[in-house]
Each structure stands twice: as C-alpha cells, then as structure tokens.
Amino acid sequence: MGNPLTSEVAAFRWLVVILIGAASVALLSRIFGSIFAIWYGLALIFILIGFIAKGMVYMLGSPESDSTSEDESESDSTSENVDEVSERVEAESDVDGPPPGR
C-alpha cells in the first residue's frame, strides 16, 4: 500500500482500506461482542499509525538518510540541488581559471 501521507491518491487508497477495516470491526462486534471489536479496532489503528510514522520518517528526510545507500534510488531534491551547485561551480571555475592563491 505504501505511505498514506504522500498525496491525495495515497490518502484515498487508505480511505478505502479503512472502510474495509471498519466493516470488519462492525462484523466482529456482531459475532464476538463490543469489547472484542474495540480492541480489534484499536489494533488496526495502531497498524495504521505504524505505516504513517514510517512514511513520515521517510518523507521528512534528513542529511544522514540522504547519503545512505538505501535512499540512493529515491529522488532526492537536496542531493539534486547539491549536484547542481557543484556543476555550476565547476563550470564557472573552468571559465574563470584557477582560484586566486592556488
């Protein structure tokens, strides 16, 4: 399913999942009683919170995680910007010649 907090589409998919989860809670309350259904529903909510927490950690990013191999395949605007700055600096250095004092 992926991270529910990246876009409207992801949130909509999770809405459908929660709808199905709610239906299962309602069904279990009829079969096993209210208290069982409440605990079951809380367990489902904690699973959802786990997904959200994981998604938030990835989404917010950090300088450390940006440099790890795990994230290398992901698009990363920070490293893209650093690369862009490096390229510009190198290009300008080529034009201007060596820096003073070297």
Partner 1 sequence: MESASIPVPHGHAEEDHHHGPPEAHQSARIDRSILGILLFILSEVMLFAAFFAAYFFLRVVVNPDTWPPEGIHLPVLIAFINTVVLVSSSFTVHYALEAIKHDNRRGLKLGLGLTWLLGATFLFIQINEYLHVGFSARDGAFGSIFYSLTGLHGAHVFVGLLLLTFANIRAWRGHFGPEQKNHLGVEVPGIYWHFVDIMWIIVFVAVYVV
Residue ranges that bind partner 1, judged by CB under 8 A: 5-9, 11-12, 14-15, 18-19, 22, 25-26, 29, 34-35, 37-38, 41, 45, 52, 56, 58-63, 66, 74-78, 81-82, 84-86, 88-90, 92-93, 95-100, 102
Residue spans of alpha helices (H) in the chain: 8-32, 34-60, 63-67, 77-96
Residue 65 in 3-state DSSP?
helix
Quote the least distance from Cβ 26 to partner 1, whole Å.
5
For the bound state, the minimum distance from the C-beta of residue 60 to partner 1, rounded and expressed in Å, comes to 6
Closest contact distance (angstroms) between CB of 1 and partner 1 is 14
Q: Which residue lies nearer to partner 1 by CB, 69 or 75?
A: 75
Torsion of Cα atoms, 92 then 93 then 97 then 100, to 10°:
120
Name the minimum Å distance from CB 43 to partner 1: 13
Residue 59 structure tokens: 């989404």
